[in-house]
Amino acid sequence: MKKIIFWTALISILGLLIGACSKRSAEDATAAFVESCDDTTASGSITIGSDTASGTYLHLTSNQFYNSLPATGCDDVSSSYDGTDPTKPPGLNSILKKKIITSSTSFVDHVSYYSDTACTSRLGYLEKRYSNLSVGDTVSGLDNSSGGRPTSGYRVTYKPECAKIMADTDAAMVTFNTAYAAFFHIYPMTTGTEKAFCETWACQVQTYYSIWGAGDNGTTFSIYQAMGGSAGYEPSDWDDNSGGMTYQK
């Protein structure tokens, strides 16, 4: 009888120890892989040559540029969005992009996904925050054959800091969980709940390289950006690395 009591007590203690270890492991994993990404409000300014960028800028779509329309950030992609993109939520028909200056050395790139063509019925959104931004040497001889962009800009480097994402629909949630599974690890997102994560495995280690320019025509202020590349893939012109982008306000 005493042996039975002894073994019963020992098993109970072991069970408690295993449960405590499992809980600690889960907590450690959460602390290691879930990042905070709260600072995405416009603040401060970034100096680009003789110009100063601050506030929030909307993406200028090709349709708006060619028709001399003001930037709205909203792009009808019902017939042009890459169907192989793993982040494309089912029913996507338009996207809204904007760039938010958050300090003199940081910014946020925001994209929202919509089921209509006018950016009103949202499916979800993704925000990526970058820091350690540094504006360097002038680069000249840039191609402005498409119009609007300057023939010179500045070398810019920055690092990915964090990202946050939310799905407004179950279908978008499934898509985002699949696309970002490697970053979410064993903690997938749920519909209607914002989730913060590290944008890449090398957050604050990997450096992105880009070319930025800015201009004020008296009506709008523009930021011109070559798509950023990693070391060895630095852009040398506006359209390098899948094309450049223009933001206005």
Q: Which residues contact 16 (CB under 8 A, 6 or more apart)?
A: none
φ/ψ of 3, rounded to 5, equals -65, -40
Return the DSSP state at 181: H
Dihedral pair phi/psi, residue 113, rounded to 5°: -115, 140
Average pLDDT of 213-242? 86
**The model scores a pTM over 0.85:** no
Q: What percent of the chain has pLDDT over 90?
A: 54
DSSP assigned state of 9: H
Tell me the per-residue pLDDT of 40-96, one tens digit each, with 9 for 90 and over. Answer: 789 999 999 999 999 999 999 988 988 889 999 999 988 766 556 778 899 999 999
pLDDT in tens, 18-31: 444 443 343 333 33
User: Nearest CA to 238 among 213, 208, 207, 206?
Assistant: 213
- Of residues 81, 78, 76, the one with CA closest to residue 96: 76
Residue 217, helix vs strand vs coil: coil
Q: Which residues pair with 128 in a beta bridge?
A: 109, 163
